[in-house]
Structures are given as C-alpha cells and as structure tokens.
Amino acid sequence: MRNVKIRNWVIGGGTPVLLLAAWWLLSANSSDPFFPPLETIIVRFQELWLFDHFQSDVLLSLGNLFLGFAIAGVAGVALGFVTALVPPVRWMIDPLIHFLRGIPPVALVPIFISLIGFGTGMRVTSIALAALFPTMIATVDGIRGVSNDLMDVARVYRLSRKERVLNVLLPAAMPHIFSGLQVSLQVAFIVMIASEMLGSSQGIGAMTLLAQQSFMTADMWAGILLLGVIGFLVNILFSLLKHKVLSWYIGSRRMARAA
Amino acid sequence: MSARQAPALPIRNRKSTMAQQPETRISATTPRLDVAHLAKTYGSGEKSRTVIEDLTFTVDAGEVVCIVGPSGVGKTTLLKCLAGLHPASSGRAAIDGRTISGPPPEMALVFQDYNRSLMPWLTVRKNLILPLRHLKLPAAELKERCDSALSAVGLSHADNQYPWQLSGGMQQRVAIARALAYRPEILIMDEPFASVDAQTRFDLEDLCLKIRKDFNMTILVVTHDIDEAVYLADRVVVLGSRPARVLRVVDVDLPAPRDQISTRSLPDFARQRTEVLSLIKRPA
C-alpha cells in the first residue's frame, strides 16, 4: 500500500521532470525562432518575472483573478440560494439556467469582453460575471439535492429560517458548490488572461501577447510558462481549501466506498 | 411479516448513569396526545388519494404506544401530521387539547432513516447541539444535556466522531440522543429500529423503555414488527390499510419491567402478539 503510494508519487513527479529534461536537451542548440532553447526561456523568465514585472504585471493579474473569483463565488452562492428558495425568482431564472447549462462557460468570454471593455475595474467585472454562473447553477443544484428528510429534521427541531439556510442547506449543498467553484476558478483564469490579451497593456496576458507580436519568442514562452505555474499553484491552493472544508464529505465517500 | 420467536440471545444490561427520576406519572384527565377523526388526502379531484381515513386514538402521559400496520399503510404520513410537518385534511391531532398546526416545541421525532436524518458534516456532539442553539442555553447546561443524552445511549466515547464513522445502530442511537438532549415531553419514533441488526434492535428497544422510565417521556413508536410493538407498548394501535383506519386498540398487560428473554417467553406475550397478528392478517 505504502509502496504503491511512493511509486505513484515517483511516476507523477518524475514524468514532468523527464519532459522538461527532454525539452532542455532537444532545444539546446535550437536556432528555430519559434522554439528557442529552454535555457534562454528560463533566463528570460527570471529576468522578466523575478522580479522586474512582478509587481506591475504578475500581482496585478493575480489581484484581478482573486478579486473577480471571490466576487463570483460569493455572489454565485447568494444568487443560487435566492433562486432555489424564492419561488418567483426560480420561475424566472429556471429556463435561463437550463439554457446556460448547455453553454460551455468559456464561450461567454467574448461577450463579457466586448460588453465590458478593458479597464482594471472592467476586467474584474468581466472575470466575476463569467465565473458567476457555474457557481450559481451548482448552488441551485446542490440545494435541490438536499434530502427532504434533512429538512424535516430541521423543521421538527424548530430551527429558525436563518439556521436552516446557514446550518443545514449551506453545508449540505457545499459539495455541489465546490464543484461549481472549481469550474468558476478555471473560467476566471481564462477570462483573466483573455481580458489582458485583448487591448490591455498590463498583466501577464498582455505581456505574453506583446512578446509574441514583437517576435520575442523566448519572452512569449516565459509568459506561457508563468501562466502554467500560476494555474498549477492556484489549483493546489483550491484543492487544499476544498479538502479542509469538505473533509467530512471526502471522508464519508471514502467510507461508503469501503463498505 | 416476521414472526420472531423469543430470542435466546444474551441481553446486555446497560447500567444507567442518568440521575434516576422518581417514577411518578403525570396523571391527567385530558390525554397528552389526542388524535380525533384525523384524515389525510393528497391532491384533489379525481387524482386525489386518501392515505388516512378517520383515525382516532389517544396517548396518555408517560405511556408507550405502538402503532402497527402493514407496510404502506400510511404510518409515516400519520407521524408527519402529528409532528406538524403536514396539515391534516380533516379531523385533528392535539397535544394537551391544543391543535397541532406546526412542529410542537414539546415534541421530538426520531426518523426511520438515520442515514439521512443526521448531519454528516457535524460531529456527534454538534449534531446534538444544532437543535439546541436557538434555545440560547448557558454553556454549562448545553454541555450537561449533551453529556447526559450521550451517556444514556452509551455513546459518550463517540462525541467527536462523525455519524458516518459509526455503525448503523450507533447512528440511530445518535439520533435518539439528539432527541433526548432536546428534552421533549413527547418522543415520536418512525420505525426507528427497522434497519439495524437483531441484537442492536433488542438493545435499542430496551433503551427506549429506559428512556421512558428515566425521563418520564410519552413515547409513540410506529413499527411494522408486531413482536416489537407488543414488547414495547402499554397499548398497541392496530391499523388497517388503504386508507388507514384503526382496527383495534389492544391493551398490553405484560408486567414491568420488561425483559427481552423473560417477557418474550410469557404465554401472555404469545397470546397478545397472536391477537395483533390475526387483526392484521385478517382480510379487511
């Protein structure tokens, strides 16, 4: 059991290392303008991002991402609750949700960008708006999935409306909400980059596109590398949060599978 | 319908750690729980379905009453009416003469499916605390209530575990402890022991009788197990099906305290379970 775990770690961690090594070796003497040596890319990575443009561009992008995602998360959950619990709102929004469910969230990106424009505030708004729907839809689904028995328990024990929402519905819907947040996070990340690439002069996306348009391919690759690293780290953070908040769910699922 | 014989299994004798209350019963002329001509119909017009038609019975203070009937007879619907979760279509159910219109504060309910009635994101102790939060009790009393409820069901050691880490029988005991910590005067249980193994079932039945004695509670148990009903009850309300109506109320005159081995081997036990069984088996 332990050995299998270690082996999986070695395979999981070793593969990217091997790929990087292969890239390094194969590109070492490259003179192709589109595929510069990895060494050059890494040097440019260090020069550009550590820490010349760190504050002006990296922090700016990350700030937009987190702010937009946070707004989307809070508003998505809140709107999901209102939609699921207030019948007139539900009747109005239900058909819309069924329609939106069929559209991949990324397909909405161009709409937000063209509607909202390119200032910093606008970029945060477009990130928040695009990332809102996955969380909202998941929240509605989550609340509808809460068992009637649980709600009967809440009523028999005379829980207040506030308690029913905060102490029963919210935790019970949390597994659904988190899968919605996961999608929202991906959408927020994509919209962050896309909104910077389209017409902004600041941010990682803008820098990367500018590098590509100025034939500074090493800089372009360095930008892409940075985006990859950020995406990876953000996902790890999210997954840590999820394991903390949903430890009861993960544990009970594991228990159910073992039984 | 299973017709179990008296068990030859050893019954664990659980020592009570609860402060023993003097065994006085509240004597009152009005029954604690009064169900009069209660009816429940779902839907209306041609599609309507009458689940309960004219149920009348009473439960006196400190009594254990069991309701038995074939499955699908509408026992759960009846309990939901009594718990104020569903309004009655006609007739009424009343506590101390007051008509039940919403969940009554003096009542707790133990649900059939412990799996879906405990909050899986809360530890055992926090499950007990959840219904007590709005009572705004002092911290010491909150703790005392939880401690005594957990020790009454023999789960003091499990208070920091999650329900899904416990066996089915233990989960149902958590659900019972949650009801006890709520300190209801009337405890209603919906087939509480239906999905636990036989040994656990005997333990939980005895727990139920101990609760009545220690907490002086009025208890109403719905079950489809006739032996269980006769073993637990002071009176058994036998329901006939489609739509539900009272066939007969059988007074159980078995001596107290009841014991899984000796009570179940009494000739009177056999006679009374036969009486109930023949009522249920008889074509309606």
Per-residue confidence (pLDDT) for residue A113, from 0 to 100: 66
Per-residue model confidence as pLDDT tens digits over A134-189: 999 999 999 999 998 899 999 999 999 999 999 999 999 999 999 999 999 998 99
Most confident of A46-55, B4-13, B37-46, B75-84: B75-84
Per DSSP, what are the bridge partners of residue B49?
A: B42
Q: What is the pLDDT of residues B150-179, one digit of tens each?
A: 988 889 999 999 999 998 889 999 999 999
Report the percentage of chain A scoring pLDDT > 90. 38
Q: Is the residue at A136 inside a domain?
A: yes
In this prediction, residue B272 carries a pLDDT of: 84
pLDDT for the residue A118: 62
What pLDDT digit, counting tens, does each position of B244-259 carry? 777 788 888 877 788 8
- Inter-chain Cβ pairs, chain A and chain B, closer than 8 A: 69
Distant-in-sequence, close-in-space partners of A34: CB < 8 Å, separation ≥ 6:
A217
Coil, helix or strand at residue A78: helix
8 A C-beta contact, residue A135 and residue A76 = yes
A153 to B107: CB separation less than 8 angstroms, yes or no? no
A103-107, A190-194, A213-217, B94-98: range with lowest mean pLDDT = A103-107
Q: Given this model, what pLDDT does residue B5 score?
A: 42
Spatial distance between the Cα atoms of B156 and B10, rounded to a whole number of angstroms: 23
What is the reported pLDDT for A248?
93
Nearest CB neighbour to B116, from listed A150, A158, A167: A150
| Cross-chain residue pair B120–A252, CB shorter than 8 Å | yes
On the question of pLDDT at B15 being above 60, the answer is: no
pLDDT at A258 (0 to 100): 81
Question: What Cα–Cα distance (Å) separates residue B10 from each residue in A27, A253, B202, B230?
Answer: 78, 35, 10, 20
Query: Which chain A residues touch B121 with a CB distance below 8 Å?
Result: 171-172, 174, 248-249
Q: Shortest CB distance from A252 goes to which of B85, B113, B164?
A: B164
**Mean pLDDT for the stretch of residues A182-206:** 84
- How far apart (Å, rounded) are the C-alpha atoms in residues B65 and B220? 5
Asked if residue A9 is part of any domain, the answer here is no
Domains of chain B in start order, with CATH, are 30-106+186-284 (3.40.50.300), 114-183 (no CATH)
Query: Tell me, what's the pLDDT at B245?
Result: 76
In this predicted structure, what is the pLDDT of residue A139? Answer: 95
* pLDDT score, position A39: 86
For B184, name the nearest residue in chain A, comparing CA atoms only.
Answer: A157
Is A45 a domain residue?
no
Note the pLDDT tens digit of each residue in B16-74: 333 444 444 444 467 888 888 888 888 887 788 888 888 888 999 888 999 988 777 78
Residue B29's pLDDT is 62
Q: Considering its fold, how many domains does chain A have in total? A: 1
Q: Which of B192, B277, B225, B259 is nearest to B7 (CA)?
A: B259
- For residue B216, give the 3-state DSSP assignment: coil
Contacts of A248 in chain B (CB under 8 A): 120-122, 162, 164
Per-residue pLDDT reduced to its tens digit, A39-79: 888 888 888 888 777 777 888 889 989 999 999 999 999 99
Q: How many angstroms away from the CA of A84 is the closest CA of chain B? A: 21
Say if the Cβ atoms of A256 and B164 lie within 8 Å: yes
Chain B residue nearest residue A175, CA to CA = B121
pLDDT digits (tens, 9 = 90+) for B202-251: 888 888 888 888 888 999 999 888 888 889 889 998 888 777 777 788 88
Residue A226 structural domain:
54-258
Asked if the bond preceding B243 is cis, omega within 30° of 0, the reply is yes
Per-residue pLDDT reduced to its tens digit, A220-257? 888 888 899 999 999 999 999 999 999 999 999 988 88
Q: Which residues contact B264 (CB under 8 A, 6 or more apart)?
A: B5, B6, B7, B227, B231
Closest CB to A248: pick one of B103, B109, B121: B121
- Distance from the Cα of B222 to chain A's closest Cα (Å) equals 17
CATH number at A67 reads 1.10.3720.10
Max mean pLDDT range (A10-19, A140-149, B18-27, B275-284)? A140-149
Cα B175 to Cα A153: distance, rounded to the nearest angstrom: 10
Q: Which residues of B touch A251 (CB under 8 A)?
A: 162, 164-165
| Cα R_g (chain A), whole angstroms | 22
Contact B130 A255 (CB under 8 A): no
pLDDT of B7:
41
> Which of A14-18, A81-85, B201-205 has the highest mean predicted lDDT (pLDDT)?
A81-85
Residues of A in contact with B107 (CB under 8 A): 156
| Dihedral pair phi/psi, residue B55, rounded to 5° | -100, 130
Angle at A205 between CA A202 and CA A211, to 5 degrees: 85
pLDDT of A1: 61
pLDDT tops 50 at residue B1? no
